[in-house]
Amino acid sequence: MTLLEENAILVSVRDLRKHYADIEALRGISFDILKGEVFGLLGPNGAGKTTTIEIIEGLRQADSGSVSVCSLDPASQSAALKERIGAQLQSTVLHDKMRVDEALNLFASFYRHSVSVPLLLEHFGLVEKRHAFFEHLSGGQKQRLALALALVNDPELVLLDEPTVGLDPQLRRDIYALVEHFREEGRTVLLTTHYIEEAERLCDRVAIMDRGRLVALGTPRELIAISGQRTRIEVRLAKPAAIDHLKLVEGVIDCHEAENVYVLHVQSAATAISPLIRYLESEGNIMVDLHIAQPSLEDVFLEMTGRRLED
Amino acid sequence: MPTLRIALMTIRLVMRSKIALFFTFFFPLVFLFVYAVLFARGNPEVVAYMFGPVVTLNIMGSGFWGLGMQSVMQRERGSLRRYRLAPIGPGTILASNLLANYLLELPTISLLLFSSLVFFHMPMRMGLSTLLILVTVGTFAFAGFGLTISSVANTMQEAQIYNNLVWITLLFLSGVTIPLPMLPGWIQRLAMFFPSTYLVSVFQASMLQTEPILSHWREMLVLIASGAFGLLFAMRLFRWEKEERISTRARLWAAGFVLPFLIMGTWMNTRANPTAGWGRSYGFLEQPSNSPLNPAEEPISIENFDGLQASSDLLSRWKITTNSGATGQSMAETSLLTPGADGTPHAMRLQGRLAPTLRNTGYVSAQYQVRVPPDPRELHGIEFQVRGKPCIDQVSFHPAGATVSSTPAISFVPGDSWQEVKLPISWLAGTSKNGPANGLWVLEILVNQPGDFTLDVDEIRYF
């Protein structure tokens, strides 16, 4: 790593381990987050994403390993660190009768440096709701308030734990726009998600986690390229077919079966489809369903773990 | 600064909750009126005796059910998590909760004091600074209880169980509801281990025996230790999230909270004799009062009906009016009754029927004009004897010619035997918004419950 790269590192995680009773939540993960990048932790529920982000926030203590955030140790320099980071929890709960502007003013008062509350209200589209009680906000408004609270101290690093979980597609897109705006402002963002679309669209780099391990790390494009993923033809057949015979069809590089679906990896769908249909006709078999998919992070996850992200 | 801001926000949030407002401000007043009307029967000396227990009850309630439960609730709801992300620690959260609890306590105690003085004419022999010190120390002590229980309870349900166990014990065995001298000796010995006993007894010693607070420094010290221990345990066992469970070892460690009370209780049982002090305070209720506020003179008679010869003579002194509303007819008549209360020659009987109306606005009013003595400063109010058919009646005292009285009225329910009704009128002792307390005033007895009524009145006098 060059000196320039070292200076650009805002978060450094080394061999982080954490267990709860008999469960090993983190099994020695390491990664760096560079200044100004949007870094994603992608993985299914129980992968260890929230534990990782909470250790970085200073909310939990790791069993072993080291973490440096903004050149501070979250465990021993928690108060100083909290001045420089802003975090949004998976679910933010405030007192039912607390008004939106009161919450922002109250939390802004805890920091040495804070952003103007009217600006935050405007930026997060909460001006009309500034006098509303927390209990009267919709799910999306609560999430926007949670993001505004995370930005109240104008942080260098923004940590977002599943920022769009439970939101409808429109609200999800609103949150995407806000995160993209953070990037334009030059802020560093660490977000956890189990949505492929979110990671692919928002993240400069993604760390894929599974069962407490980091299984892949890179830009979405790099991950797809490194994994050697190719276009997939997924077919459901009327009768079972022999995998070895399918592998011999022209244009097919590899083939496997998952959940009664035959997945054929091909260089090009256009050149492989006709030979495949001819082969099936010769076998007296027909396609019940056909799906052509370009490679994605989902495929990377599938390849790395042998499971789908939703599993 | 964050401590003050969170405390002020907490107070603001309490003000927005009707339930919280009810339990913070109105409920303590209900207790005061129950104690003063049912137990003290309006007797100012007994109200003075009851004032300490009422304030203690309120302080205990705010510590156990206000501060303690609020702390558990914040953790259970998950609202503490958001504060955890800010650069503030458990100390700030605990200190702000303590401060908010204390700041909410002050107006409540002021309301209790105001009501005791104005409505029940309680003789205030304790200095305001002494009251403030006792309230401050008491609030801190019981905040310690609330914080300790919230520290060891994992859930709201658990906290309620712990709270009820301690609360009910302290409520009935430490002089808060039942005067200690009325309890068996062994309970009195047990009571010496309870902090509420110290607070109640110091209150009563200061209020009734005008003992200086410093002569009870040991009790005060234990109360302060209770608050300090509670705060210490709360700091050490503080949990931001409901998922964090407390270990059995930590619970045992927190049991050390009872240490100051064990030491104090043992000392009191073996070296001190607090029961004598409790008895002295209690004895004040049975002795003639030597309060400088009490007039030494005999009560001044206003009307005893004894000089009258015939029922018709009553009408020259009493004005009887009715307003039955639009839908019914009411009637009332007066008659001279023989004998009167305590075997005196006569009393007055007011008898009739009040017709029901749509909104129960009908009434029968018996008014008697009174000239207030030239120097009313030593008078506490008006008292009279009543008996009759049980129904809710009212009595008030207001300037003659006033169409609507701004003076308070009190309600009473007569029974088969003669009973005394006292109408405390604090402004007789000075001027007020009702004007100078001289000239012609009217004593008005009001029946406003529909149906047949019979009310005998006798021995009306200033006290």
CA quadruple B227, B231, B237, B242: dihedral sign: positive
pLDDT, tens digit (0-9, with 9 covering 90-100), for A25-66: 899 999 999 999 999 998 888 889 999 999 999 888 899 999
pLDDT given at position A5: 59
Count of residues making up chain B: 463
Looking up tokens 């200086």, which residue turns up? B212
Using beta carbons and an 8 Å cutoff, which residues of A are at the interface with B? 57, 59, 78-80, 82-83, 87, 89, 91-95, 97-98, 102, 106-107, 109-111, 149-150
B248 pLDDT band, cuts 50/70/90, is confident
Out of B1, B81, B87, the one facing A89 most closely (by C-beta) is: B81
pTM of the model: 0.67
A185 pLDDT band, cuts 50/70/90, is confident
**Nearest residue on chain B to A109, alpha-carbon basis:** B2
Lowest mean pLDDT of B83-92, B172-181, B252-261, B420-429, name the range: B420-429
- Quote the percentage of chain B above a pLDDT of 70: 88
> Is the predicted pLDDT of residue B306 greater than 80, yes or no?
no
pLDDT given at position B431: 41
List, in order, residues 6 or more apart from A73 with CB less than 8 Å away: A66, A67, A81
Q: Do A93 and B13 touch (CB under 8 A)?
A: no
- What separation in angstroms does the CA of B451 have from each of A41, B122, B364, B366, B391? 79, 36, 11, 17, 9
- Our CA-based measurement puts residue A78 at a distance from the nearest CA of chain B, in whole angstroms, of 8
Q: Report how far residue B450's alpha carbon sits from residue B444's, in angstroms, rounded to the nearest whole number.
A: 18
R_g of chain A computed on alpha carbons: 23
- Our CA-based measurement puts residue A85 at a distance from the nearest CA of chain B, in whole angstroms, of 9
Query: Which range among A81-90, B27-36, B236-245, B446-455 has the greatest average pLDDT?
Result: A81-90
pLDDT, tens digit (0-9, with 9 covering 90-100), for B59-88: 998 888 888 888 888 888 888 889 989 999
pLDDT given at position B25: 84
Looking up tokens 């396609």, which residue turns up? A287
Using a CB-CB distance cutoff of 8 angstroms, which residues of chain A are in contact with residue B9? 98, 102, 106
pLDDT given at position B130: 92
B410 pLDDT band, cuts 50/70/90, is confident
**Nearest residue on chain B to A103, alpha-carbon basis:** B9
Residues B261 and B335 placed together within one structural domain of the fold: no
Lowest mean pLDDT of B24-38, B153-167, B177-191, B277-291, name the range: B277-291
pLDDT, tens digit (0-9, with 9 covering 90-100), for B114-142: 998 888 888 888 889 999 999 999 999 99
* Mean of per-residue pLDDT scores for chain B: 81
> Is the predicted pLDDT of residue B294 greater than 50, yes or no?
no
Mean pLDDT of B178-188: 82
CA–CA–CA angle B349, B350, B353 (5° rounding): 140
pLDDT given at position B293: 38
Residue B295 belongs to a domain = no
Q: Quick check: B88 contacting A, CB < 8 Å?
A: yes
Lowest mean pLDDT of A6-10, B18-22, B265-269, B410-414, name the range: A6-10
pLDDT, tens digit (0-9, with 9 covering 90-100), for A66-75: 999 998 999 8
Q: Do A95 and B87 touch (CB under 8 A)?
A: no
Out of A97, A98, A109, the one facing B2 most closely (by C-beta) is: A109
> Is the predicted pLDDT of residue A101 greater than 90, yes or no?
yes
Q: Do B82 and A59 touch (CB under 8 A)?
A: no
> DSSP E strands: which ranges in B307-429?
318-323, 331-337, 347-354, 363-372, 381-388, 393-399, 410-412, 419-424
Find the helix packing angle between B195-208 and B128-152, rounded to 10°: 170
pLDDT given at position A73: 92
Chosen for mutation from B82, B93, B242, B245 (greatest number of chain A CBs closer than 10 Å) is: B82
Q: Report how far residue B398's alpha carbon sits from residue B405's, in angstroms, rounded to the nearest whole number.
A: 6
Lowest mean pLDDT of A112-121, B355-364, B410-419, name the range: B355-364
Helix ranges (H only) for B284-377 are: 314-317
HSE of B446, CA atoms in CB hemisphere, 13 A: 17
Residues B255 and B112 placed together within one structural domain of the fold: yes
Chosen for mutation from B6, B85, B92 (greatest number of chain A CBs closer than 10 Å) is: B85
Q: Which of B257, B283, B309 is the last residue of a domain?
A: B283
Q: Quick check: B13 contacting A, CB < 8 Å?
A: yes
Q: Do A89 and B82 touch (CB under 8 A)?
A: yes
**Nearest residue on chain B to A110, alpha-carbon basis:** B2
Classify strands B410-412 and B363-372 as parallel, antiparallel or unpaired. unpaired
Q: Quick check: B6 contacting A, CB < 8 Å?
A: yes
Residues B267 and B402 placed together within one structural domain of the fold: no
Looking up tokens 């930590």, which residue turns up? B250
Residues B208 and B262 placed together within one structural domain of the fold: yes
pLDDT given at position B327: 53
pLDDT, tens digit (0-9, with 9 covering 90-100), for A109-151: 999 999 899 999 998 889 999 999 999 998 888 988 998 999 9
pLDDT given at position B285: 65
B289 pLDDT band, cuts 50/70/90, is very low
Q: Do B78 and A93 touch (CB under 8 A)?
A: yes
**Nearest residue on chain B to A95, alpha-carbon basis:** B79
Using a CB-CB distance cutoff of 8 angstroms, which residues of chain A are in contact with residue B86? 82, 107, 110-111
Q: Report how far residue A158's alpha carbon sits from residue A191's, in angstroms, rounded to the nearest whole number.
A: 8
pLDDT, tens digit (0-9, with 9 covering 90-100), for A256-298: 888 778 988 887 788 888 888 889 989 888 888 988 877 777 7
Using a CB-CB distance cutoff of 8 angstroms, which residues of chain A are in contact with residue B12? 102
Residues B350 and B279 placed together within one structural domain of the fold: no
Q: Do B85 and A98 touch (CB under 8 A)?
A: no
B325 pLDDT band, cuts 50/70/90, is low
> Is the predicted pLDDT of residue B295 greater than 60, yes or no?
no
CA quadruple A239, A243, A244, A246: dihedral sign: positive
- Our CA-based measurement puts residue B257 at a distance from the nearest CA of chain A, in whole angstroms, of 29
- Our CA-based measurement puts residue A83 at a distance from the nearest CA of chain B, in whole angstroms, of 6
- Our CA-based measurement puts residue B5 at a distance from the nearest CA of chain A, in whole angstroms, of 7
Domains, in order of start, for chain A: 3-225 (3.40.50.300), 230-294 (3.30.70.100)
> Is the predicted pLDDT of residue B430 greater than 80, yes or no?
no
- Distance between terminal CA atoms of chain B? 53
B6 pLDDT band, cuts 50/70/90, is very high
**Nearest residue on chain A to B75, alpha-carbon basis:** A93
Using a CB-CB distance cutoff of 8 angstroms, which residues of chain A are in contact with residue B88? 110
- Our CA-based measurement puts residue B246 at a distance from the nearest CA of chain A, in whole angstroms, of 15
pLDDT given at position B10: 92
Classify strands A261-266 and A287-293 as parallel, antiparallel or unpaired. unpaired
Q: Provide the ipTM.
A: 0.78
pLDDT given at position B435: 47
CATH number of B370's domain = 2.60.120.430
Q: Quick check: B9 contacting A, CB < 8 Å?
A: yes
Using a CB-CB distance cutoff of 8 angstroms, which residues of chain B are in contact with residue A83? 87
Mean pLDDT of B338-349: 84
B313 pLDDT band, cuts 50/70/90, is confident
- Our CA-based measurement puts residue B255 at a distance from the nearest CA of chain A, in whole angstroms, of 26
Mean pLDDT of B209-228: 85
pLDDT given at position A173: 85
pLDDT given at position B456: 92
> Is the predicted pLDDT of residue B438 greater than 60, yes or no?
no
Q: Which of B248, B283, B318 is the last residue of a domain?
A: B283
Residues B229 and B279 placed together within one structural domain of the fold: yes
Using a CB-CB distance cutoff of 8 angstroms, which residues of chain B are in contact with residue A95? 13, 79
- Our CA-based measurement puts residue B83 at a distance from the nearest CA of chain A, in whole angstroms, of 8
Mean pLDDT of B91-116: 92
Residue B292 belongs to a domain = no
Contact B215, B134 (CB under 8 A): no
| Residue ranges of B 186-245 with Cβ closer than 8 A to chain A | 240
**Overall domain count for chain B:** 2
Domain that holds residue B16: 2-283
B437 pLDDT band, cuts 50/70/90, is low
Using a CB-CB distance cutoff of 8 angstroms, which residues of chain A are in contact with residue B82? 89, 92-94, 107, 149
Instruction: Determine the 3-state secondary structure of A22 from DSSP.
Output: coil
pLDDT given at position B292: 38
Quickly list DSSP for B337-350.
ESS-GGG-S-EEEE
Contact B234, B94 (CB under 8 A): yes
Residue of A165, A168, A173 whose CA lies nearest to A201: A173
Using a CB-CB distance cutoff of 8 angstroms, which residues of chain A are in contact with residue B78? 91, 93
Tokens standing for residue B258: 């009872």
Residues B32 and B70 placed together within one structural domain of the fold: yes
The helix or strand, by DSSP H or E, that contains position A39, with its residue range, turns out to be strand A38-42
Chosen for mutation from A78, A84, A95, A159 (greatest number of chain B CBs closer than 10 Å) is: A95
Q: Report how far residue A52's alpha carbon sits from residue A63's, in angstroms, rounded to the nearest whole number.
A: 12
The one-character DSSP state at A133 is B
Residues B64 and B7 placed together within one structural domain of the fold: yes
Using a CB-CB distance cutoff of 8 angstroms, which residues of chain B are in contact with residue A98? 9, 13
Q: Report how far residue A110's alpha carbon sits from residue A106's, in angstroms, rounded to the nearest whole number.
A: 7
List, in order, residues 6 or more apart from B40 with CB less than 8 Å away: B46, B47, B49, B50, B120
pLDDT given at position A110: 94
> Is the predicted pLDDT of residue B403 greater than 60, yes or no?
no
pLDDT given at position B436: 47
Residue that wins the pLDDT comparison between B247 and B408: B247
Instruction: Determine the 3-state secondary structure of A178 from DSSP.
Output: helix
Mean pLDDT of B241-247: 78
> Is the predicted pLDDT of residue A2 greater than 70, yes or no?
no
Q: Do B87 and A110 touch (CB under 8 A)?
A: yes
3-state secondary structure B91-136: HHHHHHHHHHHHHHHHHHHHHHHHHHHHHHCCCCCCCHHHHHHHHH
Contact A98, A133 (CB under 8 A): yes
Residues B340 and B388 placed together within one structural domain of the fold: yes
Residues B256 and B342 placed together within one structural domain of the fold: no
Quickly list DSSP for B298-309.
PPEEEE-STT--
**Starting at the edge strand that comes first in sequence, how are the strands of the sheet with A157-161 ordered?**
A85-88, A157-161, A188-193, A38-42, A205-210, A213-218
Residues B305 and B262 placed together within one structural domain of the fold: no
Looking up tokens 């992968």, which residue turns up? A47
Out of A102, A111, A149, the one facing B87 most closely (by C-beta) is: A111
Contact B395, B408 (CB under 8 A): no
Using a CB-CB distance cutoff of 8 angstroms, which residues of chain B are in contact with residue A61? none
Looking up tokens 């075997």, which residue turns up? B343
Residues B190 and B43 placed together within one structural domain of the fold: yes
Lowest mean pLDDT of A260-264, B296-300, B449-453, name the range: B296-300
